Amino acid sequence: MKFGSVEDLDVYKKLFALTVEVSELTMLFPKFELFELGSQLRRSSNSSPANLAEGFNSKHTNIYLEGISRAQGEIRETIHHLKICFQKSI
C-alpha cells in the first residue's frame, strides 16, 4: 500500500488528534501545573506526530525507522505524564 503523505496514515491522524486534545486540556490545568507538567505533556504529545512526519517518505530507511522510533519514545513519555496527571487528580 502506498501513501501520498503522512496525513494519510491512521496513526498520524490519531496522534495529531491526541496533540490537539492534550493541548486544549492542559490549558485547563491549575496555574502551578500549567507550565510544568502541562508544558511537558504538550511538547511530548506534539513530538510524536512531528517525528513521524519528519521521517515519512525518506529515501533512507534508517531515517524513516528513526522517526518511528522517536515517535514511540515520545508516546511513552506522554503516557508517563498522563499517569502522573491521573495520580495527582489534575
Predicted confidence (pLDDT) per residue in 24-69, tens digit: 999 999 999 999 999 999 999 999 999 999 999 888 999 999 999 9
Report the distance separating Cα 34 and Cα 66, nearest Å.
31
Cβ neighbours of residue 4 under 8 Å, at least 6 residues apart?
Answer: none
Report the distance separating Cα 3 and Cα 16, nearest Å.
17
What architecture (CATH level 2) is domain 6-88? Answer: Up-down Bundle (1.20)
Predicted TM-score of the model (pTM): 0.88
Once rounded to an integer, what is the mean pLDDT over residues 7-25? Answer: 96
Nearest to 36 by CA among 79, 84, 89: 84
pLDDT value of position 89: 87
